[in-house]
Structure 1
């Protein structure tokens, strides 16, 4: 699975892989006509185009394209070309985690696609010339006219960040406009954003096709059991690196605490804590809403907060049966007699940020000893700017 927001760089990698192995099949869907109900599917190998067809869709969106054509095409090509590897080059606005979910849960001829093919790796290609601009962009996909559906309100920076974070392999293509230091700074930033991935750098002007093939193919890097980035911390996986000393200006700071945040104090500093941040993510809990796991995700100047469901300590015993084993294990390993599994876990990655000031600010938002002593019933009565934002349902 080959993703990337800048198609020129992504397609350059795909062409390089084809040059090294003519039997490789590259599948790409052109979604520019999607909102009109038509997409173009192109399949090629190292010698030329194998298929070039327009496909009519009942609904114009990326998810219906996956269901109705992309996954069936992969299944058909796998059956018709035994022994041949496939490369699916995703559209620039498609997030690889959505593709992984579709592969696992959508049935093709009565079976999940993962029963028919094995995904070797999710590779994301980053254009060194444009990456920082993309991560700093405040544009929405809709404003750029490249949204994946009529109700697609995602920001460009969010898409780029998620493409980076889900990948098991990251390929930095080309050079920064700021020279070698700029390219090195981007490489460090990517390491901090996705420390779990394997990282490579390639000068786009001179590429060894055989070497690139060895780096990207037959690696068995993809682990389907690994959760998405917002659930990583809850399931005991690393959410980020604590590297408070700047490397090429890049700082990564991890904030962890057991005490809850005071809702008003946290609300008051939201803009400040992300002022020097390229990306922040994680989960938290508010004293006023002690049952809810709150997701935190910042990119491109915009902070999104949402519900990740219940803390396990707030669930009845039979409710634990609906939680994955990894989540239960992670909770048991760090269970606190008073807080249960509730905790703060946030990661901030930025350029020239001050991790000490950041930690001081967030610590000041935690409940004081006196506030803790008041107890949970009093916490629930706090004035809460986030009231009603994180519904939990009846679970």
Structure 2
């Protein structure tokens, strides 16, 4: 019998919004695993530099501060992570390499860049991109996801002008990664994870169960990761669905808003506060009749809301008819949830254009002031 050829060395990407939790996960992966090495990156924006720490089961192998032309995650990957990973892979001592990103970084852009470098002819040829993994604390997740703290207020900004809510960074990690690892025991935190994590992903409860095989047993699929990150890929097609049963003490909830009708531009502005602010995570797409070809992004977390023009429906969501679809996720006691649901549903209904208002295909908006231009940009047609 001819033995199976050995698998190529695996490469995983680790993210978190808590530096202690990220480092604990990295330590868990290297514990009693001499064939695992972790490359940990931390940006130092004020110095335009990057701190790189390389650790394996024997301890710290490298601890260096490297100047960068621009202190950003993409620069650190291009200028330091790729050559460092290539050098470590070439050493032959480790079968699993883990890149621990700066805290609050999104995994998708980095995984995409690493996957490209792992193609034939790339600097990481011979490595297999195994998994992206995010680590969350269930006991703080509700406050982190739905609170109004900004990353710079916690000293976690990736650039000097990084004003993202912590919830925005956390939600992106939860929604994009292949594997979510939890610590803590809050039922509501657990419920929020279930409502946001990828349907095709995996969940591991407890850092003690984060073994290298959990990651090396997977193969990262860039196309699947792109679908998760797409606003139409929001895991809201089955709101309230729990893949592991519902804990009676779980106070999390979700509400799916959907209509084939567009938002009325002026009424959207009038009701946007009731619709999109407060302690909720909201994400999806919408359209407006004065921009009939435009798919528009809706993304909110921690009391902050972003709307933007994504491009044409054909380019952004081929095969999808224009739709207004937003998943809202929150937490609270039943009476609180009902009040929030009623407020959001009322605002959603009021903000939608009526059938009569869209019957002429948007002609009634020709020549009218584009009140959404400050957010969506200048209308091209």
TM-score normalised over the length of structure 1 = 0.80
For the residues of structure 2 that align with 1:238 and 1:134, how far apart are their CA atoms? 20
| Aligned positions of 1:40-55 closer than 5 A | 40-55=51-66
Counterpart of 1:55 in 2: which secondary structure?
Answer: strand
In structure 2, distance between residues paired with 1:165 and 1:172: 14
Q: In the alignment, which residue of structure 1 is the partner of 2:50?
A: 39
Q: Does 1:192 align with 2:178?
A: no
Cα offset for 1:70? 1.1
Give, in whole Å, the separation in 2 of the partners of 1:219 and 1:345. 35
Gaps of 5+ in 1: 176-182, 313-322, 332-340
Q: Distance in 2 between matches of 1:380 and 1:22?
A: 67
Q: Which runs of 5+ in 2 are unaligned?
A: 1-12
> 2:230: which partner in 1?
231
Secondary structure of 1:92's counterpart equals: coil
CA apart distance, 1:115 = 4.0
Structure 2 residue aligned with 1:132: 142
CA distance in 2, matches of 1:90, 1:270: 34
Give the total of aligned pairs.
Answer: 356
- Number of the residue aligned with 1:278: 280
Contact 1:244 1:251 in 2 (8 A): no
SS at structure 1 position matched to 2:77: helix
- Please list every run of at least 4 consecutive aligned residues from structure 1 whose deviation after the TM superposition is greater than 6 angstroms: 244-247, 392-395
Deviation at 1:71, TM superposition (A): 1.7
How far has the Cα of 1:6 moved from its partner? 1.0
- Equivalent in 18, 26, 30 of residue 30 of structure 2: 18
Is 2:18 the partner of 1:9? no
Indicate the SS of the match to 2:188.
helix
Counterpart CA distance in 2 for 1:254 and 1:54 is 46
In the alignment, structure 1 residue 390 sits paired with structure 2 residue 376: yes
Query: Could you say if the C-alpha distance between residues 187 and 145 of structure 1 is closer, same or farther in structure 2, counting changes exceeding 3 Å?
Result: closer
Report the Cα offset of residue 290 of structure 1.
1.7
- Displacement of 1:220 in angstroms is 1.4
Q: 1:254 to 1:115 in 2, by over 3 A?
A: farther
375-384 vs 8-17, greater mean Cα deviation: 375-384
In structure 2, what is the Cα distance between the partners aligned to 1:228 and 1:195? 10
State the match for 1:117 in structure 2: 127
- Taking structure 1 as reference, are residues 95 and 252 closer, same or farther at Cα in structure 2, changes over 3 Å only? same
